[in-house]
């Protein structure tokens, strides 16, 4: 328990400066990332789903919690869980489910504010964050709560609406907020990279505290697999890189 408390305190403390948090979806990947010297690891629902031949957002709560438990037990690093939208529409359900994730060993977790292609109404979205924060505080107040604003992902590019939501989530107890820096200072902001020209250097200069990768490491692995398989089929050979 002391080790877990230490991990949680460590994850909270690293938000005082910029850092990159890569996303892993299995034990092999999380251990490999640890060996590379990253200070914390996040899970990825998209990467996990893809590795199982399924669409993103298709994992059940229990499948997600089991994967979180497996990954947390496989590393000495703090783990921030991609907990989708909390696997419940109502605030009480989010609180109960967040408790399960915390008990599985996370040092932080994120809650999205959308269901499918639409955002939750703001009062409900706020209540869901409040419930998540209250549940985490009962276990360990150091557990980091990431309030995710998903407006841009569902086609709503109104930055004012995004800022309104982020400020509300900050007031509701979210420690890390997505997409906007200045509007929510001094709360730290996490940015998910979505373009090849986005970089840690650029984001750090903008005042971002945390850069995450989402499922893109999984996408890179899938592309490499497909290219190697294609070459094997076409030429009967594998890339020389695979032999070290």
* Angle, CA 97 vertex, CA 95 and CA 102 arms, to 5°: 90
Q: Could you tell me the residue range of the domain that residue 196 belongs to?
A: 2-215
Residue 80 in any domain: the answer is: yes
**pLDDT value of position 87:** 98
Terminus-to-terminus CA distance in the chain, angstroms? 40
Residue 33 has pLDDT above 80, yes or no: yes
Of the candidates 110, 135, 121, which has an alpha carbon nearest to the alpha carbon of residue 191? 110
**pLDDT value of position 183:** 80
Residue 194 has pLDDT above 90, yes or no: no
Residue 235 in any domain: the answer is: no
Of the candidates 124, 127, 106, which has an alpha carbon nearest to the alpha carbon of residue 115? 124
Residue 195 in any domain: the answer is: yes
pLDDT in tens, 91-108: 999 999 999 999 999 999
| Number of domain units in the chain | 1
Length of the chain: 244
**pLDDT value of position 25:** 93
Residue 173 in any domain: the answer is: yes
Residue 169 in any domain: the answer is: yes
Residue 238 in any domain: the answer is: no
Of the candidates 92, 93, 104, which has an alpha carbon nearest to the alpha carbon of residue 43? 104
In this structure, what CATH number is given to the domain that contains residue 25?
A: 3.20.20.60
Q: How confident is the model at residue 220 (pLDDT cuts 50, 70, 90)?
A: very high
Tokens 């696997």 sit on residue: 87
Q: Which residue has better confidence, 194 or 76?
A: 76
Beta strand spans in the chain (E): 19-21, 23-24, 41-43, 79-82, 108-112, 114-115, 118-119, 144-148, 176-178, 189-192, 210-212
**pLDDT value of position 161:** 92
Percentage of the chain exceeding pLDDT 90: 82
Q: How confident is the model at residue 184 (pLDDT cuts 50, 70, 90)?
A: confident
Residue 243 in any domain: the answer is: no
Of the candidates 125, 207, 133, 136, which has an alpha carbon nearest to the alpha carbon of residue 168? 125
Question: What's the average model confidence in pLDDT over 163-171?
Answer: 93
pLDDT in tens, 44-95: 999 999 999 999 999 999 999 999 999 999 999 999 999 999 999 999 999 9
Are 184 and 177 spatial neighbours (Cβ–Cβ below 8 Å)?
A: yes
Percentage of the chain exceeding pLDDT 70: 99
Residue 30 in any domain: the answer is: yes
Q: How confident is the model at residue 186 (pLDDT cuts 50, 70, 90)?
A: confident
């Amino acid at each position: 328990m002391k080790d877990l408390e230490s991990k949680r305190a460590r994850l909270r403390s690293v938000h005082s400066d910029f850092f990159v948090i890569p996303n892993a979806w299995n034990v092999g990947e999380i251990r490999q990332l640890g060996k590379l010297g990253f200070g914390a690891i996040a899970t990825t629902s998209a990467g996990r789903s893809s590795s199982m031949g399924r669409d993103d957002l298709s994992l059940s709560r229990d499948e997600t919690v089991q994967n979180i438990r497996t990954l947390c037990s496989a590393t000495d690093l703090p783990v921030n869980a991609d907990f989708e939208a909390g696997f419940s529409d109502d605030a009480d359900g989010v609180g109960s489910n967040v408790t399960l994730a915390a008990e599985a060993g996370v040092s932080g977790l994120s809650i999205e504010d959308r269901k499918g292609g639409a955002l939750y109404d703001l009062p409900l979205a706020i209540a869901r964050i409040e419930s998540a924060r209250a549940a985490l505080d009962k276990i360990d107040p150091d557990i980091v709560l990431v309030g995710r604003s998903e407006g841009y992902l569902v086609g709503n590019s109104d930055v004012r609406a995004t800022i309104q939501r982020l400020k509300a989530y900050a007031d509701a107890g979210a420690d890390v907020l997505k997409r906007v820096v200045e509007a929510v200072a001094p709360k730290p902001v996490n940015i998910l990279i979505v373009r090849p020209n986005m970089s840690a250097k650029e984001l750090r200069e903008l005042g971002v505290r945390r850069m995450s990768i989402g499922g893109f490491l999984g996408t890179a692995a899938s592309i490499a697999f497909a290219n190697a398989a294609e070459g094997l089929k076409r030429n009967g050979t594998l890339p020389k890189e695979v032999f070290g």
